[in-house]
Structures are given as C-alpha cells and as structure tokens.
Amino acid sequence: MAIREAGVVDWTGRFEELTAREAALAGDELDELGQAAWFVGQDDVSVRAWERAHLRYLDDGDLSSAVRCVFWLGFTLSERGDEVRGGAWMGRLMELCARDDATPVTEAVRALCIAHGAFARGDVEAAVPLLRQAVERADAAADVDTFTLATMSLGRALMMAGRIDDAIRELDRVMLLIADGRVSDRAAGPAYCAVIASLLGRGDVERARVWTRELGDWCDSQQGLEPFRGECTLHRANVLQLGGEWQAATTAAEEVCATEKRSETLANAWYRAADLHRVAGRPTAARQALRQAAALGREVQPGLALLSRDAGDLAGAWAGLESARAAAVEPAVRAEVLAAAVRVALDRGRLSDAAAAAHELSACATAFDTLYLRGLSSRADGELALAQGRAAEALPLLRASWAAWRRIDAPYEAALTRVAIGAAIRAIGDAEGAELEFDAARGVLEGLGAIPDLARLERVAAAAPVAASDPGLSRREREVLALVSRGWSNRRIAEHLFLSERTVARHVGSILAKLGVPSRSAATAYAFEHDLAAAR
C-alpha cells in the first residue's frame, strides 16, 4: 500500500519504491504501481503496470482483480482523451466479464460499463435503470468502489433527467461514503470532481462549497497528486470568487493555467481567470485569457459579452449572448447567459428583449431551484420592473435577490443588487434611503476592486435630476462637506462615518468637482456661504 504518515498518502515515495523493483513485482504490487504512477502523472508507466497486472492476475486465476485493472486502464485513457485505446480496453473488459468464471464483482463492473455507455451517448432515460442495476449489483458484491462510481453516475443522470431531489440524494450518498473513508483513493478522486462539477453546473453553490472544502482536504492528503489537483484548485477558485476573495481566486486560477495538462480543465481555468480580470477592470488581460479559453474549445460567453458591455459595445454584447443563449444547456451557464442578456437588453433600452430573457431565466430558476439561480432571476425581474416604471413592484423582487446572495455569502452579487435597490427606492421618492443603498454597495465594490461596476454605480447614483440652484451633492457628500468645513482630515471623517479613507477621498473629489472649486478651503468657504456647513 501507499505510504501513509499523519493522514498523508505519499504517492511519490511509493512510486519510486515500486519502480525501483518493477521487474519483480507481484500482481497486487503492479496494480498499486499503476495507481501510484497515475496519481503522480506518469501515465505511460501507469498503462504498462496495469497491463502487466491484469495478465498476472489472470495467470493467478483472479478474474475480479484483472477486470478492475482493465477498467482503470479504459477509464484513465479515456480521461486523457485517448478514446481509441480506452475503447479497446473497455472491449477487453467486456470479453473478460463474459467468461464462464465471472464473479459478482465482474458482473457489477460490466453493468456499470454498459450503463455508462448509454449515459455517454446522451440516452439518459435508458441510462437511469441500467445505473440502478449497476448500483444494486455492486452493493450485492460488496464492491464499494464500483458502488460509488455507479451511484455518482446515477446522480448525474437523474440530474440531467430533471429529477433533482433524487439526484441530490444519490450525490450526497457518494460524498458521505468518501468522507467515511470507505472508498479507495483512485475512486474518490473522480467521484469528488464529477459530483462537484454537477453541483456547480446546477448552480447549487451551497453544496458545492461544502464538498469543495472536502475535496481540497483530500487533495492535500495525497502527496504527489497530479490528476485532480488542477480541477480541485479550479473548483476552489470558483467558490472563492463567489465569496468575494478575488485575489485568492485569481492566484488559484492562474496556478491551474500554468500547470494543468488536461485541455478541458485548462480551458475552464483560462475562462475563470478572464472573468476575474474582467470584474477587476483589467480588460486587456481578460481578452487574452478568453482567447486562450476559446483556442481550447471553451464557450466564452457570457464573459466576452460582459467585457463588450464594459467597453460600450452593446450591439456586439447582445449578438454574442443571442448565439450563446441558443446553445447553452447547463443550468448555471444558461442562467448566467440569460442574466447577462437581461442587463444588456436593459442597457440598450430593449425592454421586450429583456422581458423574454427574464422569463426564460425564471423558468430555469424554477426548474432547478437553487439560491444562486433564484438570486439571479429575482434580480433580473426586479431590474426589468424598475425599467418599466414599476419601482414599487421591483423592490420586493430585488430584496429577495439580495437575501439570497446574503445566504450564500456572495458579496459582489449582493452589492450589484443593492445598486438596483437604491435606484428603486429613489424612484419612489426616498432619496436618503437610496443614498444609503448606494453607499453600502459602493463600500463593497471598492473593497473588491470592481472598477467597471463602480463606474456604473456612479452613473446610476448621479442620475437623479437636481434644481438649478442645487450643486447636486448627494446626502453623503453633504455630510462629508460639513465635516470638511470643520477642518477634519479624511481619516477622521472616515472613522466618524464608518467609511474607508478611499471612499472619503472619492467623495471629496466629487464635491470639489460639483462645486467647481479647487481646494478643501474653497469648499469650506462655499459651505459657509450656502448654509451647508452644518451636519445634517
């Protein structure tokens, strides 16, 4: 077995130790060499070891172990994109399972392969009963690994069939089995990644966040691990970005971009890096990353459209979203495309287009019913109602969205929603309440470094008409001006108003520009002349 110390599996050490005496290894040791080589990224050694192991097992009359080796050969080769050799080994597996000395274990593996074939072809209705059969046979054979992989595939198939509650029950069962330590490391890795990818694809951020932490702990316990490290890190980047930890998310995504070998994971890493660059106002880096993702075959919407929106190219943004909207099928991706379509349509003043996209988004949120999707849908409905002049109807929708973002700890999405809430509150006549919402959103967006969204916020906040005699100061700017007129520093003002110094400096700059004065002393004079020096 691999060397374990303090809960850590040293696959590098075991690989080196087994390789040193490869010629004399028995069947079990060759099997373990195959696993160790796979885990440390020595794929050619892994294939050679499992080929020899399966022949040694057959010589010893151990058909079940031989079939397991062949299964992992076919699985790992297919995962690497070598479909020809992977398919050939799966054919070999079916031949072995048809022998007269077949065992309950080989029958379970055969049932899993047949079911997975239907699933891979997209025949979900056929795959579900076949996968149930594979689960039952693996359970009867006490084959925990096959049981885990079959249950994982069943959960994914049920999710694709729209049977969400049943799917979640099966996926949770897989995660609990792994957490209990009943699943081997070579089955745990693929199961972890497949389950988390399914949850993120559905927009089930709450579950994905929990299991991503578990996957991270598992990866950290596998010294020398290669196959799942990139995917694990990318899942973590996704969760970190949603939670507002943008710098850590960027570091994680760029680490995968620099080290990952699998093209699908690498493409997703480039897209994640592009999205992080975009929200932080780094358009050149974002476009370069999107090119990398596109070159690897990854759909780059809605990221590209949102980047075009930031640059003012609303027609180009809409065209890209229309194309992606027709193709996107994964719930979370489709919802993000639709949410972006609502925003761009509203920016273009095309309310009918926004309404159509919001309607589709609502149907998606209803079908898959996660907080993430409900947050997107409620905000889109609220923004549409606001644009249609129905501010009173918009408010409860926007507040429901904000509550969803709060529950899943998504500060960026919550801040965007508060901008819309501020606009709705202002539309019903509460200017002071609107300023409170804008200030709250501004503080979060400044802390995150969300430059494009800060610029949009300022445009929204400045949209209210003012009287000709009014310098156009917001409530917060009047507060800051009153304190400036007392001779207070930015730091002291920040502490008094519970703002950052950066926010106070921005307010002071805005005050000077609106008053048309060159300095704080001139602003103070203006304040006393126009009865603005008293705190309000």
Q: Quote the Cα angle for 375-380-382, to 5°.
A: 95
Q: Is the pLDDT at 292 greater than 70, yes or no? A: yes
pLDDT at 489: 92
pLDDT at 498: 85
| 6-7-11-14 Cα dihedral, nearest 10 degrees | 50
Rg for the chain, CA atoms, rounded: 29
Residue 416: CB atoms within 10 Å? 24
**pTM reported for the whole predicted model:** 0.77
Q: Please provide the size of the chain in residues.
A: 536
Q: Are 167 and 158 in contact (CB under 8 A)?
A: yes
Identity (one letter) of the amino acid at 230?
G
pLDDT band at 470 (very low <50, low <70, confident <90, very high): low
pLDDT in tens, 195-231: 888 888 888 888 888 888 888 888 888 888 777 778 8
pLDDT at 521: 83
Q: What is the mean pLDDT of residues 382-391?
A: 95
For residue 334 the two structure tokens come to 């489709």
CA separation for the pair 164, 533 (Å, rounded): 60
Q: What is the mean pLDDT of residues 454-459?
A: 88
CA separation for the pair 80, 480 (Å, rounded): 60
CA separation for the pair 260, 258 (Å, rounded): 6
**Cα–Cα distance list, 510 to 231, 294, 443 (Å):** 45, 41, 16
Alpha-carbon 177 to chain mean position: 24
CA separation for the pair 311, 15 (Å, rounded): 52
* 52-66, 288-302, 313-327, 472-486: the lowest-pLDDT one: 472-486
pLDDT band at 389 (very low <50, low <70, confident <90, very high): very high
For 309, counting Cβ atoms within 10 Å of its Cβ (0-12 exposed, 13-18 middle, 19+ buried), the class is buried
Q: Which residues have CB under 8 Å from 94's CB, separation 6+?
A: 110, 113
- Torsion over CA: 499, 502, 508, 509 (sign): negative
Beta-bridge partner residues of 94: none
Q: Is the pLDDT at 17 greater than 60, yes or no? A: yes
- Torsion over CA: 168, 174, 177, 180 (sign): negative
- Return mean pLDDT, the chain: 90
Domains of the chain: residue spans and CATH: 228-297 (1.25.40.10), 370-462 (1.25.40.10), 473-536 (1.10.10.10)
pLDDT in tens, 221-259: 888 877 777 888 898 899 999 999 999 999 999 999 998
CA separation for the pair 390, 388 (Å, rounded): 6
For residue 41 the two structure tokens come to 């990224």
**Cα–Cα distance list, 244 to 27, 238, 276 (Å):** 50, 10, 11
Alpha-carbon 22 to chain mean position: 42
pLDDT at 535: 57
pLDDT at 466: 47
More confident of the two residues 458 and 374 = 374
Q: What is the mean pLDDT of residues 312-335?
A: 89
* 148-152, 285-289, 321-325, 360-364: the lowest-pLDDT one: 321-325
Percent of the chain scored above 90 by pLDDT? 58
pLDDT at 387: 94
Percent of the chain scored above 70 by pLDDT? 96
CA separation for the pair 36, 222 (Å, rounded): 10
In sequence order, which ranges of 221-262 are alpha helices (DSSP H)? Answer: 229-242, 246-259
Q: Are 523 and 488 in contact (CB under 8 A)?
A: no
pLDDT in tens, 149-169: 999 999 999 988 888 889 999
pLDDT at 6: 45
pLDDT band at 180 (very low <50, low <70, confident <90, very high): confident
pLDDT band at 467 (very low <50, low <70, confident <90, very high): very low
pLDDT at 286: 96
pLDDT at 499: 85
More confident of the two residues 422 and 78 = 422
Q: Are 242 and 271 in contact (CB under 8 A)?
A: no
Q: Is the pLDDT at 1 greater than 90, yes or no? A: no
CA separation for the pair 104, 143 (Å, rounded): 9
Q: Quote the Cα angle for 395-449-487, to 5°.
A: 90
CA separation for the pair 288, 440 (Å, rounded): 33
